[in-house]
Structure 1
Amino acid sequence: MKRPLVAVVALSLTAAGLAVPAASAAPSTCSAVQTNWTARTTPHAAPEALLNAYSNTGKGWTGADSTYSVPLSGGRTAWIFSDTFLGPVNADGSRPTTTPFINNSFVIQHGTEVKTVTGGTADSPTALVPPPSDGWYWFGAAQTSHAGQDLDVVALRFQRTGTGQWDWKWSSNYLARFDSKTYKLKSLTPIPSAANVQWSGWLLRDNGYTYVYGVEDLGASKYQHVARVRGDDLTAKQWEYWTGSGWSADETASARVLEGVANEHSVTRWGDGYLLVTHNTKELFSKSVLGYFSCSPTGPWVKPVELYQTPETGGNIITYNSHEHPDLRQGSSLLVSYNVNSLVSDDLYGDVSIYRPRFLSVTLAAAE
């Protein structure tokens, strides 16, 4: 019987080039940093109920983690998932132990209509990016490219190192490119992987660049790194890496920007500055969702504010990889998701409701 690899990569995992001219100095002050922010957070925000109801039908996706989202043409939203359970669901809310389990999938939402996209066939579903013989791919941050024709997803390749449950490691980074209408895989292209950084945390388009946020995962310590590519195609142009004072074409010159980020987090525009949302990985199995602020997409990140404490955390249950969905903001109200899992795989078969994303509506306001 195949059991899922519990996705605690986010919690417990863990060529020299020509120099590029230094970046222009970032503003030293902005209202995003000068303001003292407070958070008012409401759980169970949309689309949580919609995805839960769809999961309960047992007709496709019944739970997963990662939970990135990308707006597509025609009012569609592509939800990007890593380890995924498929139906059916038993009447008592449990899963058959024979239920299909794959390492990556999409859920496409169009209004209140939801459908699952996998590889393979309906009778024999497979991951959208098929696993190599010695491992699998987990999905990370995603965006569209080429005027929306392509859906680009960072795919992390993991490799088995033995026969035990925990005998595996991150191997390298890829870009999986899909047709944004048919969802068919068009290409799988290696992207930089020489600096022990998983360049899959977040993608931010800003001022003509795509900023790529990666995580150097050392197990107990996780550090954010920042790269960028001009335009929207991560495979077409030279990558540049933030060194702490400028940009370099040498990936190994990439600097540690912030300790304590999760493998999946977000960086978005916030007024005249930037907002970073992450689970707090300075604490083991933390329940704390934090927001940081900066005047620059490269940090420094300051004034952390606790946005939420996840009530599910405790016993076997863990929460992780919180981040924002900026295209689904409601005015100034953020939509933030986080993942829920169990350290005991049997729990995920006994209760289908555990392994589903949760969604938060977060309103930030200046402290009085």
Structure 2
Amino acid sequence: MKTSFTLTAVLGLFAFTLQAQDFKASTDPKLQSANFTVEEDADWTALFNRTKGWFGADGIFSIPLDGVDSIGAGRNQTTFFVFSDTLIGEVVDDKPLPGTKMPHNTIGYLTGNKPVFDDIKFYWNKTADGVAKSVFEPKTPNTQKGDYFWLGDGFVNKELNGTTYVFGYRIKNVSNGFGFAEVGNVLIALPKGSKFPFADQRQMDTPFYFELPGGGYGSFGAGILNNTKWAKVPNADGYIYVYGLHGAGKNVMVARVKPKDVEKFTQWRYFDGKGWNTDIKKAATIADRASNEMSVTPLPDGRYAMIFQIDGIGKKVCMRLGSSPYGPFGPIIDLYSTDKFTEKVVTYNAKAHPNLSQPGELLISYNVNFTDFFNQLNASPDIYRPRFIKLKFK
């Protein structure tokens, strides 16, 4: 079992510059504030508080399998969850038993959009002798020995036969820095009706990971906005928006593509601050101080809520309001403080789950991890799992 924080927590601490620019928040009065309340959601948090089998993870993304990814839409849906580093084993008397393993990714299925303990099922692969291992393992032409996946966001594409697409960050262990590095970006395709362990999956190396002269890199897949009519979002324009991050400033970039062209990577376009460019290295910074998992959700009033953890690993869950999926976005609005956790515990990667949200609300998760993982895990095995809050608009 090996971990630091997952890539999704710390990717972006490796600084580089796409363009010489500083982000400036919009001064549009409509983007400065919102009327809301925030409260902890004990029921959703309890859903992931488990002691046998799957008992902790980070990297949580929720993907509605019917493609309807809008607020209040998921009453009868099945939601496909993807996780990154996961704890598999058993906890007895608040201690993880010997033999606990940490595969690099796992999945789950939730029936309906209520946090009912028995309505979610978790899955992971096993070796021939029964040891837990990852659901998805890199098998692309660019894959090198020792590479593994941490997972990004995903969506179901009704215009390509109901295929589910999930981003996979290709990772390898290294001897310097945080002990790992991203080395590639992969799009995983699961045909409609595909069942675990997904023997019919396809994996495609993408151009959405890139290095720059002088060092550093960027990557896409931190969040997806399905802005189509069949996703039942307001003001749909027919595009899939995919968000990425670069730099120590946790700078956000965005690409878009028509659903039918998702696998045609030359058809993707990158917002350059004025229009949509074919050159990924001209992608503009549409927000900063974000997190490597995040979300952008259309609101009923025509605005867009970007949800994130400030500075990636921070003590605040925050929001920016935008006038479109690509901005402009206003200033940071503090939503919730995670100060209740001790200094030896870090919180990171907040995001919204619109299809699991009730009308007028946004269900938001954030991840919790240790600074000294192995020693603290033995003392507090229930820490390493998602927590949830509820954002209610007035």
Question: Quick one: distance in 2 between partners of 1:275 and 1:142?
Answer: 18
Residues 7 and 181 in structure 2, CA contact (< 8 A), matched pair in contact too: no
Question: Kindly tell me: are residues 233 and 320 of structure 1, through their superposed partners in 2, closer, same or farther at Cα, counting changes over 3 Å?
Answer: farther
1:225-304 pair list within 5 angstroms: 225-231=253-259, 234-236=262-264, 238-270=267-299, 271-281=301-311, 285-304=313-332
More strand by share: 1
Question: Quick one: distance in 1 between partners of 2:307 and 2:369?
Answer: 20
Aligned amino acid, residue 56 of structure 2: G
Q: Tell me what 2:163 maps to.
A: 150
Match of 1:194 among 183, 207, 210: 210
Q: Tell me what 2:349 maps to.
A: 321
What TM-score, normalized by structure 2, do the two folds share? Answer: 0.80
Alignment of 1:205 with 2:226, yes or no, is yes
Query: Cα RMSD (Å) of the superposition?
Result: 2.4
Q: Tell me what 1:3 maps to.
A: 2
Alignment of 1:89 with 2:110, yes or no, is no
Deviations 1:71-129 (A, max 9, x none): 12473111111010112222x12212421211111111124322112233692332111
Match of 1:176 among 188, 191, 203: 188
Alignment of 1:224 with 2:265, yes or no, is no
The answer to which of 108-117 and 229-238 deviates more is 229-238
Question: Kindly tell me: are residues 214 and 165 of structure 1, through their superposed partners in 2, closer, same or farther at Cα, counting changes over 3 Å?
Answer: closer
Q: Tell me what 2:231 maps to.
A: none
TM-superposed deviation, 1:45:
4.3
Q: The residue matched to 1:101 in structure 2 has which SS?
A: coil
Residues 252 and 288 in structure 2, CA contact (< 8 A), matched pair in contact too: yes
Question: Quick one: distance in 1 between partners of 2:168 and 2:8?
Answer: 14
The structure 1 segments of at least 4 consecutive aligned residues displaced by more than 6 Å after TM superposition are: 28-31
Q: Tell me what 2:134 maps to.
A: 127
Aligned amino acid, residue 88 of structure 1: E
Question: Quick one: distance in 2 between partners of 1:258 and 1:303?
Answer: 9
Question: Kindly tell me: are residues 180 and 303 of structure 1, through their superposed partners in 2, closer, same or farther at Cα, counting changes over 3 Å?
Answer: same
Question: Kindly tell me: are residues 97 and 106 of structure 1, through their superposed partners in 2, closer, same or farther at Cα, counting changes over 3 Å?
Answer: same
Deviations 1:35-66 (A, max 9, x none): 731331111344222222xx22x0x2111001
TM-superposed deviation, 1:165:
7.9
Q: Tell me what 2:153 maps to.
A: 141
Residues 212 and 228 in structure 1, CA contact (< 8 A), matched pair in contact too: yes
Q: The residue matched to 2:332 in structure 1 has which SS?
A: strand
Gaps of 5+ in 1: 15-27
Q: Tell me what 2:55 maps to.
A: 62
Q: Tell me what 2:34 maps to.
A: 37
* Paired-residue identity, %: 28
The answer to which of 71-80 and 340-349 deviates more is 71-80
Q: Tell me what 2:172 maps to.
A: 159
Residues 96 and 349 in structure 1, CA contact (< 8 A), matched pair in contact too: no
Question: Quick one: distance in 1 between partners of 2:8 and 2:33?
Answer: 33
Aligned amino acid, residue 37 of structure 1: A
Q: The residue matched to 1:272 in structure 2 has which SS?
A: coil
Aligned amino acid, residue 155 of structure 1: G
TM-superposed deviation, 1:329:
1.6
Aligned amino acid, residue 197 of structure 1: G
Match of 1:72 among 44, 65, 79: 65
The answer to which of 341-350 and 101-110 deviates more is 341-350
What TM-score, normalized by structure 1, do the two folds share? Answer: 0.85
TM-superposed deviation, 1:251:
1.1
Question: Quick one: distance in 2 between partners of 1:286 and 1:47?
Answer: 22
Gaps of 5+ in 2: 15-25, 67-75, 139-143, 212-216, 228-236
Question: Quick one: distance in 2 between partners of 1:8 and 1:136?
Answer: 11
Q: Tell me what 2:123 maps to.
A: 117
TM-superposed deviation, 1:363:
1.0
